[in-house]
Amino acid sequence: MAHVFGWNVLTPPPPIPCFRDMVNNRHVISAVMMTPKPSARKNLEDYIFRKMGDQGIVGLSIVTVKDGKTDYKRAFGFRNFITGTSATPNTIYCIGSLTKSFTASAIMQLSEKGLLNLSDPIGKYLPIELTAMGEPVLIKHLLSHSSGLSALGYAEATLTAVTDFSDRWLPISSPEDLMVFMNGADEWAMAKPGERYAYLNEGYILLGSIIKAVSGMEYADYIKKNILEPLDMKRSTFHEDDVEKDNDVASPYVSSGDNGKVETRYPYGQMIADGGMMTNVMDMVKFLQMFLSYGKPNGVKILSEESIKNMMSPKIKTSDIPLNSTNNRFYAYGLRIKSEFFGYNLVYHSGSVFGSSGYMGFIPEKGVGVIIMA
């Protein structure tokens, strides 16, 4: 059933507007490194306003970290364009694929406890024999998007259908459905496991199922108990009921053409380990600080220093084309790495669903970082 809609590494899915290029701009980096210098802050805010106008961004929240501590927080625009309600630093957004950093962190925790090994095949824990060119796909391959399988298109099909902009649809409501969908994926393999990068949302859904199988807890419950609660991320959730009760939530919008905007909805459900977290920049900064403190923010151990360093260690280049502008970029475990970034390694991840985006980036050597949601 794989590649029902032909979305793969050679024919990418329809683009989802986001602001990830913002964070590569010198104004953002200088502001993060130099705040509270007024000139740097002014450059940052001028740049944000300009980019929001250029890209039609309704609302945006940002927090920066310096020396491991929150240094600057601000919101721009609206959380609800129709009512005119302003966004705040506490406004909740869906962070999409930035959720993968939480999934990877949970896998590392279970590895530390001896409940799994990163070199275990997927079939050891799930009722699917996942192979690429005849070789077994291992947990570490799913973590680093190096399974050898090209994108199968489930997420793009689902998100497109959620917005009602297409009649293309897949009846995948659960990880179990996905495992049926992925039967025969080997025939679409583009490389042996570990040899080549190909972003695979489906792989992180499987990792979420492994977390459930090994821990005996639902994925969302495990993340809450073992990451969100220890980090005091009280307003972060995967559940629609929690979001409905919150009074500071961004309404997601997508462009309708002719500069118009259409309110859409967040993709709730069981398929969340690849991109279903709802959170805000003030909660997410605590997760960022976990990495800057090498697993022990405020003395609370979430992960070992060894695991944090392993997560931030480049595993595979995200481009094997020598002249490609991204040939200094790598994927690690639930995190991306950009080397030679203003003289440092930038560790980051971004995520987008229709109408909402999230970004986390930090430079461990400098103790600086930024969280942006829009």
In tens, the pLDDT along 89-108 reads 999 999 999 999 999 999 99
- 24, 336 contact by CB (below 8 A): no
The confidence score (pLDDT) of residue 81 equals 84
The confidence score (pLDDT) of residue 17 equals 39
Say whether pLDDT at 75 is over 50: yes
Q: Cite the DSSP H helix spans in the chain.
A: 26-34, 38-55, 100-112, 139-143, 154-162, 175-181, 201-215, 219-223, 240-245, 281-292, 305-311
User: At how many degrees (to 10) do helices 38-55 and 26-34 cross?
Assistant: 140
Q: What is the mean pLDDT of residues 251-258?
A: 69
Closest CA to 168 of 183, 155, 178, 179: 155
Say whether pLDDT at 34 is over 60: no
The confidence score (pLDDT) of residue 72 equals 93
Q: What is the DSSP string of 31-100?
A: HHHHTT-HHHHHHHHHHHHHHHHHHT--EEEEEEEETTEEEEEEEEEEEETTTTEEP-TT-BEE-GGGGH
The confidence score (pLDDT) of residue 85 equals 95
Say whether pLDDT at 10 is over 60: no
Closest CA to 355 of 56, 100, 103: 56
The confidence score (pLDDT) of residue 11 equals 31
Angle in degrees, CA 184, 187, 189, rounded to 5: 115
Local structure of 372: helix, strand or coil: strand
Instruction: Flag whether 153 is in a domain.
Output: yes
Closest CA to 369 of 7, 23, 15: 23
In tens, the pLDDT along 133-191 reads 999 999 999 999 999 998 776 665 555 555 555 555 567 778 888 888 888 788 889 99
Question: What is residue 224's DSSP assignment?
Answer: I
The confidence score (pLDDT) of residue 169 equals 59
Say whether pLDDT at 359 is over 80: yes
Domain extent for 340: 20-373
Q: What is the DSSP string of 245-277?
A: H-S-BPPPEEEEETTEEEE-----SS--TTT--
Closest CA to 17 of 369, 350, 360, 278: 350
- 98, 81 contact by CB (below 8 A): no
In tens, the pLDDT along 178-225 reads 888 888 788 889 999 999 999 999 999 999 999 999 999 999 999 999
Instruction: Flag whether 2 is in a domain.
Output: no
The confidence score (pLDDT) of residue 261 equals 65
- When divided into structural domains, the chain yields a total of 1
Instruction: Flag whether 13 is in a domain.
Output: no
The confidence score (pLDDT) of residue 16 equals 37
Amino acid identity, position 14: P
Task: List, in sequence order, every residue forming a beta bridge with 138; answer none if it has no partner.
Answer: 121
Going 139 to 143 to 146 to 148, the CA torsion angle's sign is positive
The confidence score (pLDDT) of residue 184 equals 78
Question: Which band of pLDDT confidence, cut at 50, 70 and 90, is reported for residue 39?
Answer: confident
Say whether pLDDT at 302 is over 90: yes
User: Which range among 14-18, 47-51, 265-269 has the greatest average pLDDT?
Assistant: 47-51
Instruction: Flag whether 4 is in a domain.
Output: no
Q: Is the peptide bond before 36 cis (omega within 30 degrees of 0)?
A: yes
Instruction: Flag whether 279 is in a domain.
Output: yes
Question: What is residue 232's DSSP assignment?
Answer: T
Q: What is the CATH number of the domain that holds 269?
A: 3.40.710.10
Instruction: Flag whether 268 is in a domain.
Output: yes
d(CA 266, CA 208) in angstroms, rounded, equals 19
Say whether pLDDT at 355 is over 90: no
Say whether pLDDT at 38 is over 80: no
Q: What percent of the chain has pLDDT over 70?
A: 80
Q: What is the mean pLDDT of residues 49-65?
A: 91
